[in-house]
């Protein structure tokens, strides 16, 4: 059941009316359900209860400290892609030894910091990175635990911007190169090969490409074992999609299929889910400012924009938009657009709604890659964030003030002539 339901004619998150949150905190505001986050995480956890596993939540999907804290409380590990994300995890009470570090461009400084924190594993994406890590580890007297990110060359059938497992993508290395990199790593005393990983993309609505990748990793693992290299974990990445529109596979079904294919292998299974944990746990609430009907198009101009929620503009993503308090009256087809000076600034197109100025709308499925991708474009402060649990709603991210926006900027004294 969704955490967002209409009760007595008004949309609630758990037991809190979104109207009440808008009244207290204003709009635009992101609202997250704690229960929904926890139950998605536990769906992974429970399904894998009888095999060694670690669910490393992908921090980039939603990196609010309170969200990370909720997940850390359930024993989550974390997948980070920057030193900043690692520091966030630690600030939120997460354990560094459950962190895997992904990304094609880790800097030496980031490697150093992650080594000092004692992370679980570096997911290495190239030979140059492998050698840089060996050097940094050796110079600082650490042994770096590593995994090589394999690009299994499978078509995940998702949007090209979020497809990462094809040969032409920048991520990982092909299977042959991976096998060679483990030999290179073996020659480096400061590297310890502990695992193997992949991540083929995001919003994947079919389990088959994950199985294809798993088979690719398993055959590599067997090849490496024949070379005398025995790995302890297999990290299948994130990427399971959610039902924004079409229906997505259930987490439990995906886990059942993975588990079956792994059979009696004693490998620890690591997963890096982001979207499937938080996307449906969040909504962005926004107020209709102006209605602008015309012959060609009807526009509803709202106070949220592409700087708050980029997915529709960036990927042409479809997210459901609901009236918080549906009204009687004639429905029209509306394009729901923000105030930003870009034609690409829309949250949804052709939505059939009965609207009046001042109405509240909720953009559903906004918990992942929502606030995390927000910017200050057009000098717009970033939205507030609220976490709901039962009948309580707590502010977990303050709305930025205008002053915040130019604090870091400097007018040099000699600039004026
Ligand atoms: C983005 C990313 C994830 C999370 O992907 P989702 O689709 O949000 O589950 C996991 N691993 C890596 C390496 C990523 O880049």
Q: For the segment 176-207, what is each residue's pLDDT rounded down to a tens digit?
A: 999 999 999 999 999 999 999 999 999 999 99
CA distance 204 to 158: 6
- H/E stretch holding 277 reads helix 275-278
Tokens 């139950």 belong to residue: 39
Model pLDDT for residues 44-58, shown as the tens digit of each residue: 999 999 999 999 999
Q: Could you write out the DSSP letters of every residue in 283-351?
A: EEEEEEEEEEE-SS-EEEEES--TTT--HHHHH-----EEESS--SS--EEEEEE-SSS-TT-EEEEEE
pLDDT at 166: 72
Q: Where along the chain do the CATH 3.20.20.10 domains lie?
A: 34-275
pTM: 0.96
Both tokens of 275, joined, read 């979207």
The answer to whether the CB of 233 is under 6 A from ligand 1 is no
* 3.30.1330.60, 2.40.37.10, 3.90.1720.10, 3.30.1490.20: CATH of 4-32+279-399: 2.40.37.10
Question: Residue 416 Cα, ligand 1 centroid: separation in angstroms?
Answer: 47
Who wins on pLDDT, 397 or 413? 397
pLDDT tens digits, one per residue of 341-400? 888 999 999 999 999 999 999 999 999 999 999 999 999 999 999 999 999 999 999 999
Q: How confident is the model at residue 413 (pLDDT cuts 50, 70, 90)?
A: confident
pLDDT in tens, 56-112: 999 999 999 999 999 999 999 999 999 999 999 999 999 999 999 999 999 999 999
CA distance 314 to 303: 19
Question: What atom in ligand 1 is closest to the CA of residue 197?
Answer: 13
Share of the chain above pLDDT 70, in %: 99
Residue 165 region by backbone torsions, left for phi larger than 0, else alpha for psi between -120 and 50, else beta: alpha
pLDDT at 164 over 90: no
pLDDT bin (cut points 50, 70, 90) of residue 417 is low
Q: Residue 252: what pLDDT?
A: 96
Domain 34-275 of CATH type 3.20.20.10: yes
pLDDT for position 285: 98
The residues, any chain, with a CB within 8 Å of residue 94's CB and separated by 6 or more, are: 68, 71, 72, 76, 77, 78
Distance of CA 301 from the midpoint of ligand 1 (Å)? 32
Evaluate: CB of 202 within 6 angstroms of ligand 1: yes
In the predicted structure, residue 37 carries a pLDDT above the cut 90: yes
Q: Is the CB of 98 under 6 A from ligand 1?
A: no
**Binding site membership of 61 for ligand 1 (Cβ less than 6 Å):** yes
Rounded CA-CA distance 244/283 in Å is 12
Q: Are 337 and 348 in contact (CB under 8 A)?
A: no
* Mean pLDDT for the chain overall: 96
Tokens representing 160?
Answer: 């090209």
> How many CB atoms sit inside 10 A of residue 140's CB?
13
**Ordered DSSP codes for 55-104:** EEEEGGG---HHHHHHHHHTT-EEEESSHHHHHHHHHTT--GGGEEE--T
pLDDT band at residue 414, thresholds of 50, 70 and 90? Answer: confident
Mean pLDDT confidence for 227-237: 97
Cα separation values, 345 from 75, 294, 302, 348, Å:
39, 18, 11, 9
């Amino acid at each position: 059941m969704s955490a967002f339901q209409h009760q007595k004619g008004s949309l609630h998150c758990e037991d809190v009316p979104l109207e009440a949150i808008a009244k207290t905190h204003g709009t635009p505001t992101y609202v997250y359900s704690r229960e929904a986050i926890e139950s998605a995480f536990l769906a992974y956890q429970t399904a894998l209860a009888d095999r060694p596993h670690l669910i490393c939540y992908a921090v980039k999907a939603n990196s609010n400290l309170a969200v990370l804290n909720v997940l850390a409380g359930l024993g989550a590990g974390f997948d980070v892609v920057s030193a900043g994300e690692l520091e966030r995890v630690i600030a939120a009470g997460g354990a560094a030894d459950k962190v895997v570090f992904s990304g094609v461009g880790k800097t030496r400084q980031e490697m150093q910091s992650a080594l000092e924190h004692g992370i679980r594993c570096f997911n290495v994406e190239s030979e140059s990175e492998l050698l840089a890590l060996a050097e940094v580890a050796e110079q600082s007297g650490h042994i770096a635990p590593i995994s090589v990110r394999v690009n299994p060359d499978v078509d995940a059938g998702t949007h090209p911007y979020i497809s990462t497992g094809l040969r032409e993508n920048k991520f990982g290395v092909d299977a042959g190169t991976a096998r060679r990199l483990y030999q290179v790593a073996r020659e480096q005393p400061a590297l310890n090969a502990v695992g193997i990983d992949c991540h083929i993309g995001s919003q994947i609505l079919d389990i088959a490409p994950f199985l294809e990748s798993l088979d690719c990793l398993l055959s590599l693992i067997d090849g490496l074992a024949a070379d005398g290299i025995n790995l302890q974990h297999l990290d299948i990445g994130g990427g399971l999609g959610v039902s924004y529109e079409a229906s997505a596979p259930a987490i439990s079904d995906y886990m059942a299929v993975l588990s079956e294919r792994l059979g009696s292998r004693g490998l620890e299974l690591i997963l890096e889910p982001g979207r499937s944990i938080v996307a449906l746990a969040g909504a962005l609430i926004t107020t209709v400012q102006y209605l602008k009907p015309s012959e060609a198009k009807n526009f509803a101009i709202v106070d949220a924009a592409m700087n708050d929620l980029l997915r529709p503009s960036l990927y042409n993503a479809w997210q459901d938009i609901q009236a918080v308090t549906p009204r009687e009256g004639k429905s029209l087809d509306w394009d729901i657009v923000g105030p930003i000076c870009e034609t690409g600034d829309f949250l949804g197109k052709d939505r059939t709604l009965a609207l009046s100025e001042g109405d509240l709308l909720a953009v559903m499925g906004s918990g992942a890659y929502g606030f995390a991708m927000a910017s200050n474009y057009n000098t717009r402060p970033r939205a507030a964030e609220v976490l709901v649990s039962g009948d309580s709603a707590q502010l977990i991210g303050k709305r930025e003030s205008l002053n915040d926006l130019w604090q870091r900027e400097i007018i040099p004294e000699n600039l004026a002539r």
